[in-house]
Structure 1
Amino acid sequence: MTASKIIARLVAVLALAGLGFSLAGCNTVQGFGQDVNAAGSALKRAAE
């Protein structure tokens, strides 16, 4: 296996792990949506 394939596989595993941890951190996909909505609202208030 070449180094580039190992790195590509490692990046894919880390991306999936990060996605899993982020969804677990807010418990549900609905919670993730609420977190994104809250972040958007905070950015909007900061821009005003």
Structure 2
Amino acid sequence: MTNSRIATIAVLAAALMSAACANTIRGVGADTANTVNATQSAGKNVSRAAQ
């Protein structure tokens, strides 16, 4: 293999890994938002039940 072919493969692999990381980070953000919403909802339910 020539150096240019190895470099091309390395760049493509890095691009694929970057895309995978972006999807994972978006997923973590969505999960965190859902957790916050669920916690707020549970707090409101407890507050209503205590009245």
Q: Greater share of helix residues, 1 or 2?
A: 2
Which residue number in structure 1 is paired with residue 10 of structure 2? Answer: 10
What is the TM-score of this pair, normalised by structure 2? 0.53
Distance in 1 of aligned mates of 2:22 and 2:16: 10
Rg larger for: 2
- TM-score, normalised via structure 1 length: 0.56
Q: Which ranges of 4 or more aligned residues in structure 1 deviate by more than 2 Å? A: none
Q: Can you give the 5+ residue segments of structure 1 that lack an aligned partner in the other structure? A: 32-48
Percent of residue pairs bearing the same amino acid type:
24
Root mean square deviation of aligned Cα: 1.6
**Whose relative contact order is higher, 1 or 2, with alpha carbons under 8 Å and at least 6 apart?**
1
